Structures are given as structure tokens and as C-alpha cells.
């Protein structure tokens, strides 16, 4: 069995739109999606809103969402809003 | 039960699903905002706070007008001032405060305090100060990166929502996260209860009446609850009366008396009472007569509850007078009601958040203070009190007897308590009232109450020392150096045997001839209290200014204690012997004030204890049947003379026992947790000298070099253990020696090989000690083996070789290798074991041992010594080979 892995870079200057674009791509996708947060230094409530939707998709079993390169400040935010357990993290 | 269900508070009155969803939405929004806020820097939040403050100042009058219109309380102009204090004064306090990351640093203590936001704060605001409280809390929340859900008093919802809107829009415009503030519109008690108990609410900040505060504290959540007061005022006869009267009127009429810190009852000294009332009247107060006072008491205070009626709160004096049918002048600011006591039978002694002020004529300071205490305790505990006086002693006494978080001196109570205007109190709109008021703090609530303050504590480097006597003279005939010490009256303390041997005469000859010399002999045994006190009497009667202690450890110890009691007669030896864990922090202090001053010179006549340079002294308390061990560097002799001529005739057995005592001191100091490079150098040198010269001194007692070197070794080892202490070997030997009457050096010898093997193996338990940076005892033993040239390639081999060399030395000295060899039966030893183990564990000697001994391990060590099985034949437990890393 083969698994498709899609790697999506999140633009640090436009985090929420980039996440929304990722969300749109994921709607009909399967397999594993890696969201690359290496260039993201901070997230806002809007980004968290999109990530909640992403987490909803990740919970559907058809797709696994991996967050790559999340800095510790953002990791703490995700812990505070209780989203962290709903994603996988790759350093 | 799903995840969301786990957030459901318990014991909350039922809410509709729709209402719960609404409240959950508020919390979720605030939680997200708070989470996002956690990423902000100090600069980020400071950039947001300033425009918020400016917006608040800009809208101060607008919000004040809204508040008065909606609540029908207070004075618009005064509420505008409150809004300005809540913004400008609070900003002035917080602007330079660090509230993100490291907020305070104490480099000398190795401490850094760091800020952690609380997250979501649920905030109740009062009807009396609605908009100012919102402005204040919004600024604090942004400064500390928290989100707030506001729940205003039901009669001030609109003005509070408007204040929140202004703050929120400004904050978000300048970068605050969306959702950082929300304000509930219409709400009910169940709404508040639901939010108070919500798992995602971190703190409740309840500014309001007792009901709100009680609900907050009852929720089980961390809460800042501030509540009602009843401010007593003492107007004392030395006060500036004109200033006092103006201040009280200013304060009590400010916003029609709605600030809970405002004055309620003034105790006025009899001598100035009439004059003060006249001044009040001149400035627009109406002094009520007895009938008017009674009428007011019946109408503005509820006789059932003793609490003020809402109809009067925040109303003008003239309006209150009109409603109850009092005839007053149109410009009346304040109604003054003379009362004769405090309590429920005097209704106007209660809190009155309107311009009615009670006054009491006090016949004395004592009576005035008692009245103030009564008012304070009639609903005002922990809140605020005021005194006008120029008498510092009375001000201090007032501060002592009144339980109030804020005691305002010579200034208006309400505005004084707010802070920053009349004094240096922290500006606030929430007064902590301490436990007396059912609150968790007496502070003026401020930004630091909106933070979890984390403390990053670095490991501190324990202060170490190397303290030794000022002068040490050594080598043959060193005693002649006594001639350098002028003295009018010298006492030689010694024992009869040494006098008979002629040692005292040798000493006498070296003391300058003009010195008057007495000899005081004591028994050659550990000194008893009685013997010491007889010696002190002699020192006093001869007005001695120099003590020469000539003898072994017992004589020198006795002389140390005699000196202590002679110099400081009040010294309580029992207290000074109290146990301690760390000498730097011990409870007792040795006396520094001295009635007499005396120089102490110690001349040792054995080569073992090193008492001539140590800060220890042991006393036998026969009455209590115990030893009293004194430890303090003030006990160290001023001068030590290490002259081998006094040990040339030591018998072989004593040479062996004292020599091994010296070796034990050096080995234990070498691996002590208090060891330092300073003590190591001494310990290692002493070990080298003992291994080389002790067998020679034992075999050829007249060998001058060997005797001299062993005498030096004892002193050098003592310099090491005076500063690094000893270890478990001494704890075992003390217990065993005392129980079976075995000489200290011999008892040490029986334990020594076993203790080396024990200390060289990985500890079962590490003892907390900042001095222990790493477990190095095995490496230090290996280093000693190298120093002695014992060979071996690994640490394990080297330790074994050291144990074997120690055993060979004991054999050379004719010292039995087992306790059994002393003729002690196994049964007798077994019977003694519980006591031995207990006493050894109580012995402070092991405190600096590299292994913290368990009682079971002490028992094992005792049995090893009993059987005398050679540890050199057994490998130390679980010792791995490691590279040598220890330097001396």
C-alpha cells in the first residue's frame, strides 16, 4: 500500500489565507499532508479558526495532517486552545 | 461524555442549551484570544496600552455621563475624574513595568521572576464605579496579555458595554487579538455561576458587593474578591483641622460618597469637637440634631439588616434630606450625624455610600481608638481607615490596632485609597481587604495580580571558607615562641600527668618572666561541666588575659569552653550545642559581646585530634548523661604550637590510635561534600605523611623526624576537617566507642577500611547538598592511591589498593582488624545494634559524608567491622571504570 504525502509551505506573511488554501486542497484529499510552519512566527485568532477546521478533517481518518517546524510559541498556543492533540508534529 | 461536556461546570443552575452555547462561545473566543496573546512581547503590549489610555481619557466625560444617566448614582464630574484616574494614573504606574517575560531579576540571588498570563479572566464590575473599573481592568489585562469577559452590575450594563467597546476597538486597532474583551449583555445569576465555574476561566476578579465576592470565592476558582468597607476616621487634636475638614468633605462628597473607601464615622477628640463641627458647618455641612439623626438612621439604614438602603446610595445630601423630610440649606454638601456609640443599635455607624457622615465625641485617645476599632470591625475589616494627626506615636498606634489594607494619613480616604493622587499607593479600583474581608490580598489590586509569576532559581554557589588560627608555630622547640606573647596573667591548663612529666616547666620557661603564671590541672578525660566551671572561676579570680592549653584533645577542649564562659558568662552551653544542618544558617548565635578578652594558645601533646586548630569542643554533661558538642570558629585557639618534643614519649598504643585518628580525619575531609581545593591540599598532604611516618614513629618512638612529621600531619589534617568536616566513619566510631569504652582512634581504625569501600561505591541515596556537584568520592580515593604510589589501572583497582594499604598500616600498628578481636561477643554486639545504629544516624558527623547512610547500611558497616572481613578482597558494589577527572 502506498501513501501520498503532500507538502504545503505556509507563508509566514499571510498565515490565515495560506491555511485556508491548504484547507481547500485537503477537502477531497487522502493520505498525509505536511503543513510546513518553518516561516511562521506567530498565529492569530483567524489562523486558529482555520486550524480548527483542519483538525476536523484530520479527525476523519482519511487524511493525516502533520505540522512541521512549529515554533514553541505557536506550539504553546495550540496547547492552550487544545488543538495540539489533534495534529501530529514533525520537527 | 464528549470533550465539550468535560468543560461543563458542576452545581450550576440549569441553563438552556442556547444560553450555554452563547456562554461557551464567549469563553472560547476569550480562550483563543488569550492563547494568541501569549505570543506577544513587552513592546507589543506597550504599543497597545498607550492608545487605550488616550482613548479612555478622551472618552472620560462621555462615559461618566453615561454612567450617571444609567445608574442614577453619583456625580458626572467626579465620575469623569475617576475615569481619568483609572487611565492616566494607572498608566503612569504601569507604563514602565515589565509584565512580559523576565519582569524582575535578582542577580545576586540567582533569581529571575517571569510573567505567565492567566488566560481568561471573568470580571464582575460594580454599579458604583462602573466605567472607571472597566477602563482600569482593560488596561491591566492588555498589559498582562489576558482576555477578559466582563459581567457588569445589571443596572450599569450599557455604560460598561460602551466602556468595553471603546477599549476593545482601540486595543484591536493597535494589534490586540480579536476577542480579547467581551461584555455580557443582559445576564442572570446562573450565567455568572456558569462562567465562574468554567474550566477555561483562570481567575475571577470580583469588584462589587458582598454577594458577588462571596459567589466568586465560593466558585472554587482563584479569585480576587474585594468588597464593602466601613472606614473609621480618627481626627486627633494635633491635626491640621482646616485641612482635615476640607479633605473629609472632599472625600465624602466625591461622587456622592460611592467609593467604598470613603469616610463613614469620625472619632473627634473632645477638645476640638465643637470647633471641628463649626468648621464643617462653615463649609456647607448640615449638623443634624438628635431628632434628625434618629430620623436618618431609621430611613437610610435598613433596621432589619443594618445595611444601607439602595435609595440613598450615591445621592446628593440635599436629595436625601428632601426625601426624608429634613430641612437643610440648598447648598448643603454633607449631612453630619453625631452618634454616641457603634453597633447595630447605632444604625448610622454602618457603611453609608452617600454623603452622610457620623461623628463621635471621644474623651480620650484611648476612647477614640476604640471607637475606630469598633467601626473597623462593623463591616470594614481589611478595607480602609483614615487618621488626621501630627502625632507620630498615635499614627503608629492607629496603624497597629486597625485592621485595614490602607491606612490613609492626613489625606482624603476615598481618593487616598485609590492611590497615586495623595500618596504613593498603587493606583487601583479594587481594594483587597485581606482575610478579614474574605479576600486573598490586602493589596491595591494591580497588574501583578493579573499574572502568574514564575521564579527561575539558579543553583547558588554555597559560600565556602577556610578558617584557621592566626598563627601556627611548628617543629622542635616551637614552644619558645611563647615569648612573643606578652601577658600580665597567664593560666596554663593541663593535666597532672603532663605536669609530672615536666612539660609544664618547659612551657613556663618560655613565657616572658614578667608574666604572672598559674597552673590549673584538670583530669585527663573528656571535660565535665563542673570541671569547666571551676576553671572559669579560677580565670575570673586571677583576671587572666592569656590561656595556654597544654595537653591532648580533652584538655584543649576544656580550655576552649572555659574561655567561652570566661569571656561570655551568659553563654548557654546547652543552647549553643543545638543541632544544625548548615553552619551558615544555624539558629543559635555564639556570643560576640565579651566581658573579658583572653588570648588562647594551644599546645598539643598528642598527634591525632588536632584540637589545637579546630573549632570543636566536647563537654560531658554527667547530670544529663550526654555529650555536648560545641562547634564555632570563635572556639578555635588564637595560636597553635605544634612542638614534637611534647610527643616524643607517647606510648606505642597511643601513637597508633592517635595516628589513625589523624588519618581518618584526612581521608574523611578528602571525600567530604564540603571538601574544597583548600582542604584537599591539606588532607592529601596529611595522608601522605601518615602513610610514610606513622609506622616509623610507632616502631622508633624516638625518631625525631617521624614524630615531628606525624605531629604536623595531625595539625594539617585538622586544618582540613575543621573546614570540610568528617564523615560516617566518625559517626560509627562515636557510637561504638561510647557504648563499649573504646578509644576514639581505635574505634575509627576498626571502621576505616569498610568505610572507604562503602564510600567508594555508588550511593543508595544522595543527600541534598548544593556542595555536591558530582559524585567523586571513588575518584578521590583513586587519586589518593596514586599519591601514595599504590598502583592500579582503573579507579576500582586503585580504591582496592588504598583499602589494602590501609589494612596493612593497621596491621603494622598492631591494631585489631575486627571488633570481635576486642573480645566483644556477637550476642552482646547484636543486643547493642539498635542503639548503635540509632546513635550513629543521629550523629551530625555524617552530614558531610559523600554517601548519605541509610540506617540499614550503618548496621551493615557495623557488622563488617565486627567480622573484620577485608573489603580489599571484595569489589566495591556496581563501580564502573571511569576516567580520572578530579583535580586537587
Instruction: Write the pLDDT tens digit of every residue in B291-337.
Output: 999 999 999 999 999 999 999 999 999 999 999 999 999 999 999 99
Gap between the Cα atoms of B213 and B216, Å rounded: 5
Rounded to 5°, angle at Cα B172 from B164 and B91:
65
Cβ-defined contact of B32 to A43 (cutoff 8 Å): no
Q: What angle do CA B733, B736, B740 make, to 5 degrees?
A: 135
Side by side, which strands form the sheet with B181-183?
Answer: B181-183, B147-152, B120-125, B203-207, B223-226
| 8 Å CB contact of B39 and A42 | yes
Contact A81 B38 (CB under 8 A): no
Q: Which runs of E-coded beta strand occur in B87-193? A: 101-106, 111-117, 120-125, 147-152, 181-183
A26 near B CB under 8 A: no
Nearest CB among A48, A74, A76 relative to B32 is that of: A48
> Which residue, chain included where needed, has cell 565579651?
B594
Contact flag A43-B34 (C-beta cutoff 8 Å): no
Closest in A74, A76, A81 to B32, CB measured: A81
DSSP B89: I
The reported pLDDT for the residue numbered B820 is: 97
Our answer to whether residue B260 is catalytic in this structure is yes
B21, exposed or middle or buried, with CB in 10 Å at 0-12, 13-18, 19+?
Answer: exposed
Cβ atoms of B475 and B708 within 8 Å: the answer is yes
Q: B741: Cβ–Cβ under 8 A, 6 or more apart, which residues?
A: none
Q: Are strands B516-521 and B546-551 parallel, antiparallel or unpaired?
A: unpaired
Residue B490 dihedral angles phi and psi, to the nearest 5°: -115, 140
In angstroms, the separation between the Cα of residue A70 and the nearest Cα of chain B is: 13
A80 reaches B (C-beta below 8 A): yes
As a whole number, mean pLDDT of residues A51-62 equals 84
Please report the sign of the dihedral spanned by the C-alpha atoms of residue A76, residue A77, residue A78, residue A80.
Answer: positive
E-strand spans in B487-589?
A: 489-494, 516-521, 546-551
Find, among B264, B268, B242, B339, the residue nearest to B308 by Cα.
B264
CB contact under 8 A, B178 and A44: yes
Residue B155: all three cell numbers together? 443596572
Could you give the residue ranges of the DSSP H alpha helices within B761-812?
Answer: 777-787, 795-812
List B269's β-bridge partners, or say none. B362
A46 touches chain B (CB under 8 A): yes
Q: Which residue of B has its CA nearest to A48?
A: B32
pLDDT of residue B244: 98
Burial of B663 (0-12, 13-18, 19+ CB in 10 A): buried
The dihedrals phi and psi of B580, each to the nearest 5 degrees, come to -150, 160
Q: Biggest alpha carbon distance in chain A? A: 38
Q: How many CB pairs under 8 A join A and B?
A: 37
Residues of chain B contacting A, Cβ within 8 Å? 3, 29, 31-36, 38-39, 119, 177-179
Instruction: Check if A63 contacts B (Cβ < 8 Å).
Output: no
| C-alpha to C-alpha distance for B678 and B741, rounded to whole angstroms | 35
Burial of B526 (0-12, 13-18, 19+ CB in 10 A): middle
Q: Which three cell numbers stand for residue B131?
A: 466605567
Of A44, A73, A76, the CB nearest to B177: A44
All three cell numbers of A15, joined, read: 498565515
Interface test with B, best of A44, A55, A72 (most B CBs within 10 A): A44
pLDDT band at A58 (very low <50, low <70, confident <90, very high): confident
Å from A1 to nearest chain B CA?
34
Q: What's the pTM?
A: 0.82
Contacts of A52 in chain B (CB under 8 A): none
Q: How far apart are CA B349 and CA B342, in angstroms?
A: 5
Does A77 sit within 8 Å of B36, measured CB to CB? yes
Give the C-alpha separation, B259 to B255, whole Å. 7
Cβ of residue A59 closer than 8 Å to a chain B Cβ: no
**Does residue B377 sit in helix, strand or coil?**
coil
A74 chain-B contacts, CB cut-off 8 A: 39
**Three-class SS of residue B518?**
strand
Q: Largest alpha-carbon pair distance within chain B? A: 117
E strands, B714-823, are: none
- Chain B residue with minimal CA distance to A41? B39
A-chain residue closest to B118, CA distance: A80
Do residues B574 and B529 make contact, with C-beta atoms less than 8 angstroms apart? Answer: no
Cell of B866: 565486627
C-alpha cell at B403: 485592621
Q: For chain B, which residues score pLDDT lower than 50?
A: 1-8, 875-888
Residue A65 Cα, gap to closest chain B Cα (Å)? 20
- The answer to whether B285 touches B355, Cβ cutoff 8 Å, is no
A43, B39: Cβ pair inside 8 Å? Answer: yes
B100 vs chain A: nearest CA distance in angstroms?
Answer: 14
Of the CA atoms within 13 Å of residue B202, those in its CB half-sphere come to 21
Query: Cell numbers of B630, please?
Result: 560545641
What's the confidence (pLDDT) of residue A61?
66
> In three state form, how does the secondary structure of B352-371 look?
CCCCEEEEEEECCHHHHHHH
User: Using an 8 Å Cβ cutoff, are B95 and B46 in contact?
Assistant: yes
Q: Is the ipTM of this complex over 0.90?
A: no
In contact, B76 and B63? CB cutoff 8 Å: no
In chain A, residues with a C-beta closer than 8 Å to the C-beta of B171 are none
Copy the grid coordinates of residue A51.
486550524
Question: Which residue among B3, B36, B119 places its CB closest to the CB of A48?
Answer: B36
Residue B581 has what pLDDT?
A: 79
Residue B875 CB partners (closer than 8 Å, separation 6+) = B796, B800
If one counts every other C-beta atom within 10 angstroms of the C-beta of residue B540, the result is 14
**Which among A45, A78, A82 is the nearest to B178, CB-wise?**
A45
Nearest CB among B29, B38, B179 relative to A80 is that of B38
**Which one of A77, A78, A79, A83 makes the best mutation probe of the B interface by having the most chain B beta carbons within 10 Å?**
A77
Instruction: Map grid coordinates 448610622 to a residue.
Output: B348
Contact flag A81-B31 (C-beta cutoff 8 Å): yes
Distances (CA, A) of A91 to A36, A69, B121, B394, B827: 10, 5, 34, 67, 66
Query: In a mutagenesis test of the A interface, which of B6, B28, B32, B175 is the best target, namely the one with the most A β-carbons within 10 Å?
Result: B32
Does pLDDT of A27 surpass 80? no
Alpha helices in chain A (DSSP H): 15-26, 45-58, 72-80
CB contact under 8 A, A77 and B35: yes
Cβ pair B872, B804 in contact under 8 A: yes
Contacts A53 to B, Cβ<8 Å: none
User: What is the DSSP secondary structure assignment for residue B582, as one 8-state letter?
Assistant: -
Tell me the pLDDT tens digit for each residue of B445-475.
999 999 999 999 998 877 889 999 989 999 9
Catalytic residue among B260, B372, B433, B715: B260
Q: Nearest chain A Cα to B117, which residue?
A: A80
How many beta carbons lie within 10 A of that of residue B626, not counting itself? 12
CA of B371: how far to CAs of B342, B359, B429, B509, B652, in Å? Answer: 7, 10, 28, 80, 84
Amino acid at each position: 500500500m502506498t501513501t501520498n504525502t503532500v507538502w504545503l509551505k505556509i507563508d509566514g506573511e499571510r498565515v490565515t489565507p495560506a491555511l485556508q488554501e491548504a484547507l481547500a486542497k485537503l477537502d477531497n484529499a487522502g493520505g498525509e499532508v505536511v503543513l510546513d510552519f518553518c516561516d511562521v512566527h506567530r498565529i492569530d485568532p483567524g489562523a486558529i479558526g482555520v486550524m480548527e477546521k483542519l483538525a476536523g478533517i484530520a479527525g476523519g481518518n482519511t487524511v493525516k495532517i502533520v505540522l512541521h517546524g512549529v515554533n514553541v510559541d505557536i506550539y504553546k498556543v495550540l496547547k492552550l486552545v487544545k488543538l495540539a492533540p489533534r495534529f501530529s508534529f514533525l520537527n | 461524555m464528549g470533550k465539550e461536556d468535560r468543560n461543563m461546570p458542576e452545581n450550576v443552575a440549569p441553563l438552556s442549551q442556547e444560553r450555554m452555547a452563547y456562554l461557551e462561545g464567549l469563553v472560547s473566543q476569550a480562550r483563543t484570544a488569550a492563547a494568541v496573546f501569549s505570543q506577544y512581547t513587552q513592546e507589543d503590549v506597550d504599543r497597545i496600552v498607550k492608545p487605550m489610555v488616550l482613548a479612555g481619557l478622551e472618552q472620560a466625560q462621555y462615559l461618566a455621563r453615561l454612567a450617571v444617566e444609567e445608574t442614577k448614582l453619583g456625580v458626572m464630574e467626579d465620575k469623569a475624574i475617576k475615569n481619568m484616574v483609572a487611565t492616566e494614573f494607572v498608566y503612569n504606574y504601569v507604563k514602565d513595568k515589565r509584565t512580559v517575560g523576565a519582569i524582575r531579576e535578582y542577580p545576586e540571588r540567582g533569581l529571575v521572576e517571569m510573567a505567565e498570563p492567566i488566560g481568561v479572566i471573568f470580571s464582575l464590575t460594580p454599579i458604583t464605579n462602573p466605567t472607571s473599573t472597566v477602563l482600569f481592568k482593560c488596561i491591566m489585562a492588555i498589559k498582562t496579555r489576558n482576555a477578559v469577559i466582563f459581567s457588569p452590575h445589571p443596572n450599569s450594563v450599557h455604560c460598561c458595554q460602551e466602556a468595553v467597546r471603546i477599549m476593545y476597538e482601540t486595543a484591536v486597532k493597535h494589534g490586540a487579538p480579536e476577542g480579547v474583551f467581551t461584555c455580557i449583555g443582559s445576564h442572570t445569576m446562573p450565567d455568572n455561576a456558569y462562567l465562574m465555574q468554567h474550566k477555561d476561566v483562570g481567575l475571577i476578579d470580583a469588584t462589587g458587593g458582598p454577594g458577588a465576592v462571596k459567589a466568586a470565592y465560593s466558585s472554587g476558582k482563584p479569585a480576587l474578591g474585594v468588597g464593602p468597607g466601613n472606614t473609621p476616621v480618627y481626627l486627633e487634636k494635633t491635626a491640621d483641622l482646616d485641612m482635615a475638614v476640607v479633605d473629609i468633605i472632599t472625600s465624602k462628597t466625591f461622587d456622592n460618597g460611592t467609593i467604598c473607601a470613603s469616610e463613614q464615622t469620625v472619632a473627634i477628640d473632645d477638645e476640638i469637637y465643637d470647633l471641628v463641627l463649626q468648621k464643617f458647618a462653615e463649609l456647607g455641612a448640615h449638623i443634624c440634631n438628635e431628632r434628625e439623626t434618629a430620623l436618618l438612621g431609621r430611613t437610610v439604614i435598613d433596621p432589619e439588616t443594618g445595611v444601607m438602603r439602595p435609595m440613598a446610595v450615591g445621592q446628593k445630601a440635599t436629595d436625601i434630606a428632601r426625601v426624608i423630610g429634613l430641612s437643610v440649606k440648598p447648598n448643603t454638601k454633607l449631612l453630619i450625624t453625631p452618634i454616641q456609640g457603634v453597633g447595630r443599635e447605632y444604625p448610622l455607624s454602618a457603611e453609608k455610600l452617600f454623603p452622610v457622615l457620623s461623628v463621635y465625641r471621644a474623651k480620650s485617645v484611648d476612647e477614640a481608638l476604640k471607637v475606630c476599632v469598633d467601626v473597623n470591625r462593623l463591616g470594614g475589616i481589611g478595607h480602609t481607615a483614615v487618621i488626621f494627626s501630627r502625632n507620630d506615636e498615635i499614627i503608629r498606634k492607629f496603624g497597629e490596632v486597625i485592621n485595614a489594607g490602607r491606612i490613609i494619613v492626613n489625606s482624603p480616604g476615598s481618593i487616598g485609597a485609590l492611590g497615586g493622587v495623595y500618596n504613593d499607593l498603587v493606583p487601583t479600583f479594587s481594594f483587597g481587604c485581606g482575610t478579614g474581608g474574605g479576600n486573598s490580598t490586602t493589596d491595591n489590586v494591580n497588574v501583578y495580580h493579573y499574572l502568574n509569576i514564575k521564579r527561575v532559581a539558579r543553583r547558588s554557589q554555597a559560600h565556602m571558607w577556610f578558617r584557621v588560627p592566626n598563627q601556627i608555630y611548628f617543629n622542635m622547640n616551637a614552644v619558645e615562641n611563647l615569648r612573643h606573647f606578652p601577658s600580665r596573667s597567664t593560666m596554663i591548663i593541663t593535666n597532672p600527668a603532663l605536669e609530672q612529666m615536666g612539660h609544664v616547666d618547659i612551657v613556663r620557661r618560655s613565657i616572658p618572666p614578667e608574666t604572672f603564671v598559674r597552673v590549673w590541672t584538670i583530669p585527663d578525660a573528656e571535660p565535665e561541666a563542673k570541671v569547666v566551671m571551676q576553671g572559669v572561676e579560677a580565670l575570673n579570680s586571677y583576671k587572666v588575659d592569656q590561656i595556654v592549653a597544654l595537653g591532648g584533645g580533652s584538655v584543649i577542649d576544656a580550655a576552649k569552653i572555659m574561655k567561652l564562659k570566661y569571656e561570655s558568662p551568659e553563654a548557654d552551653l546547652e543552647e549553643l550545642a543545638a543541632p544544625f544542618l548548615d553552619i551558615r544558617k544555624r539558629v543559635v548565635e555564639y556570643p560576640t559581646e565579651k566581658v573579658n578578652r583572653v588570648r588562647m594558645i594551644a599546645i598539643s601533646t598528642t598527634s591525632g585530634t588536632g584540637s589545637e586548630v579546630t573549632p570543636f569542643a566536647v563537654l560531658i554533661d554527667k547530670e544529663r548523661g550526654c555529650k555536648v558538642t560545641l562547634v564555632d570558629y570563635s572556639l578555635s585557639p588564637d595560636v597553635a604550637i605544634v612542638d614534637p618534643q611534647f610527643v616524643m614519649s607517647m606510648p606505642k598504643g597511643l601513637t597508633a590510635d592517635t595516628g589513625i585518628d589523624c588519618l581518618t580525619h584526612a581521608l574523611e575531609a578528602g571525600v567530604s561534600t564540603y571538601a574544597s581545593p583548600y582542604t584537599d591540599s591539606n588532607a592529601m598532604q596529611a595522608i601522605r605523611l601518615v602513610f610514610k611516618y606513622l609506622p616509623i614513629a610507632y616502631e622508633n618512638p624516638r625518631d625525631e623526624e617521624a614524630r615531628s612529621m606525624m605531629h604536623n600531619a595531625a595539625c594539617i589534617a585538622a586544618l582540613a576537617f575543621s573546614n570540610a568536616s568528617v564523615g560516617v566513619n566518625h559517626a560509627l566510631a562515636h557510637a561504638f566507642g561510647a557504648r563499649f569504652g573504646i578509644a576514639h582512634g581505635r574505634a575509627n581504625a576498626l571502621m576505616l577500611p569498610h568505610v572507604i569501600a562503602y564510600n567508594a561505591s555508588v550511593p543508595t541515596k544522595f543527600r541534598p547538598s548544593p556542595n555536591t556537584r558530582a559524585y567523586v568520592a571513588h575518584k578521590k580515593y583513586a587519586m589518593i592511591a596514586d599519591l601514595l604510589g599504590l598502583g592500579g589501572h582503573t579507579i576500582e583497582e586503585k580504591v582496592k589498593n588504598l583499602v589494602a594499604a590501609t589494612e596493612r598500616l593497621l596491621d603494622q600498628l598492631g591494631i585489631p582488624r575486627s571488633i570481635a578481636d576486642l573480645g566483644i561477643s556477637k550476642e552482646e554486639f547484636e543486643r547493642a545494634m539498635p542503639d548503635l545504629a540509632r546513635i550513629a544516624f543521629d550523629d551530625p558527623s555524617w552530614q558531610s559524608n559523600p554517601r548519605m547512610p541509610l540506617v540499614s547500611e550503618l548496621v551493615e558497616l557495623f557488622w563488617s567491622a565486627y567480622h573484620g572481613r577485608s573489603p580489599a578482597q571484595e569489589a566495591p558494589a556496581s563501580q564502573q571504570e571511569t576516567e580520572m577527572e578530579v583535580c586537587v
